[in-house]
Amino acid sequence: MITLDNFNFAGRKAVVRVDFNVPLDKDFRITDFNRINATLPTIKKILSDGGSAILMSHLGRPKDGPTEKYSLKHLVADLARLTDATVKFADDCISDDAVAQAAALQPGEILLLENLRFYKEEEKGDVAFAEKLARLGDVWVNDAFGTAHRAHASTAVMGQFFKDKVAGYVMQAELENARKVLDDIEHPYTAIMGGAKISDKILIIERLIDKVDNLIIGGGMSYTFAKAMGGEIGKSLVEEDRLDLAKALIEKAKAKGVNLMLPQDSKAADAFSNDANTTFVPNNAIPADYMGLDIGPEAIKAFSEVVAASKTVLWNGPMGVFEFPNFAAGTIAVAEAVVKATEAGGYSLIGGGDSAAAINQLGFGEQVSYVSTGGGALLEYMEGKVLPGVAALD
C-alpha cells in the first residue's frame, strides 16, 4: 500500500474520498468538526506538494436524490477557512460541469463535489458511476476509513481505474493503530467491551479471547451473561436467544486462561430515565421491577485496577447509559483508568462510536493513544474481515 509520504502530488489532480459526514444544525452550520479536522493533513500534503484536490464524500442518508439538508455546499466556507485555500463547488458530482471544473483546477486549489449519495449508484457500487468519478483526476486517494467496510463506488470500486492509488493519513493511522491491538501487542492486554448487545460484538469477542489477558464486559450486554449464569436481572436488557452463546464465551475464556470480568454490581433503576429511583445491587440479584443502567462501585473499583495496570488497552462501548448523567459514573471511571494506563506508558485505542464520543466529551481525547473514527469499519477489520476500501488500495 502506498502512503502519502511516499508520493509526490506535484502537478497531479488527486480525487480524494474523505469522510465529511458531519452533523449540521437547523441553519446548516457544522456542529462537530472532528471528521473534517482529521482529513486536513491529507488535503494540505497534496496542496503543498503542488497538486490540486477534488474532494468527494457522502453526507447523511438522502433517500430521494438532491436534498438541501444533505448538500455539501454548506461545508464550502468552513473548508476554505480551515485549509486557507480556494475551494470551488460542483453541484453534481459527475456532471460535465464537474469535469470542466476539475480540468481547470490549479495547483493548490480544491474542488468539493456534491453529495455522492444523491446518486443511488454510489451505494450500489456501480462500476459505470465509479468510472465517471475517476474521470475527474489522475490519482486516487482514499482517506475515508469509516466507510472502508462498504464496497461503494467511491470507497472501493473506482480504485480499478487508477494506476496510482494512495492511502491518506487517516486511513494509514487507523490501520496502524488497529494492528497495535491485533499484532504488535504488549502485555498485559485488556479489552473492554460495552454497549447493548452481544450479537453486535460476537466475532470480535471471540477473536480477542485468543489475544487478551483480561476481557472486561460491561454495559447492557453484561446482563445477558448474568442471566446465562443463573442470575436474576429484573427488567434489564437481555438477549434471550444469546444465553447459550454467553455461556460458551465464558467457557472459551476459561479454557484459554483469559480473565473474563463481569460486573459484580449494578446501579439499577425503576425506569429508563435519568430521574428514576435507583439502588446499588449485586449484578445477579436485581429486583424484578428494576433494570441495570450502569456498573456499580465494586465493578468500577475492580475494572479500574485491571485497566490502569495494563500495557495495551482496547475499549469499545460504554459501561452504562452514558447519555444519562446519573448513569455515567462507570463509563467515566473506565475512561479515567484508560488515561492512567496511557500515562504510565501503555498503549490505548478507543474504538469509535459511543466510546469515542464519551472520551471526547470528557476531554480525554488527547490523553489516550488513539481515538478511532472508524466505528463499524474498525470492528469489521478487527474481526478479521477484508475491508473493500482497504483491499482497493493494495
- Residues 314-345 have pLDDT tens digits of 999 999 999 999 999 999 999 999 999 999 99
Q: Hey, what's the cell of 133?
A: 468519478
Residue 248 has pLDDT above 90, yes or no: yes
Given this model, what pLDDT does residue 201 score? 86
Question: What percentage of the chain carries pLDDT values higher than 70?
Answer: 100
Given this model, what pLDDT does residue 116 score? 98
Residue 78 has pLDDT above 90, yes or no: yes
Is pTM, for the whole model, over 0.85?
Answer: yes
- Residues 142-184 have pLDDT tens digits of 999 999 999 999 999 999 999 999 999 999 999 999 999 998 8
Quote the CA–CA distance of 154 and 163 in Å, as a whole number: 16
Quote the CA–CA distance of 387 and 21 in Å, as a whole number: 19
Q: Hey, what's the cell of 114?
A: 456534491
Lowest mean pLDDT among 29-38, 47-56, 170-179, 218-227: 29-38
Residue 352 has pLDDT above 80, yes or no: no
Given this model, what pLDDT does residue 103 score? 98
Given this model, what pLDDT does residue 64 score? 84
Lowest mean pLDDT among 75-89, 190-204, 333-347: 190-204
Quote the CA–CA distance of 205 and 383 in Å, as a whole number: 9
Q: Hey, what's the cell of 166?
A: 494512495
Q: Hey, what's the cell of 87?
A: 475551494
Residue 355 has pLDDT above 90, yes or no: no
91: closest CA among 80, 76, 108, 109? Answer: 76
Which residues are catalytically annotated?
35, 197, 353, 376
Assign residue 234 a region: left if phi > 0, alpha if psi is -120 to 50, beta otherwise? left
Burial of 386 (0-12, 13-18, 19+ CB in 10 A): exposed
Q: Pairing between strand 265-269 and 278-282? A: antiparallel
**Residue 65 banded pLDDT, cuts 50, 70, 90:** confident
Residue 204 contacts residue 383 (beta carbons within 8 Å) = yes
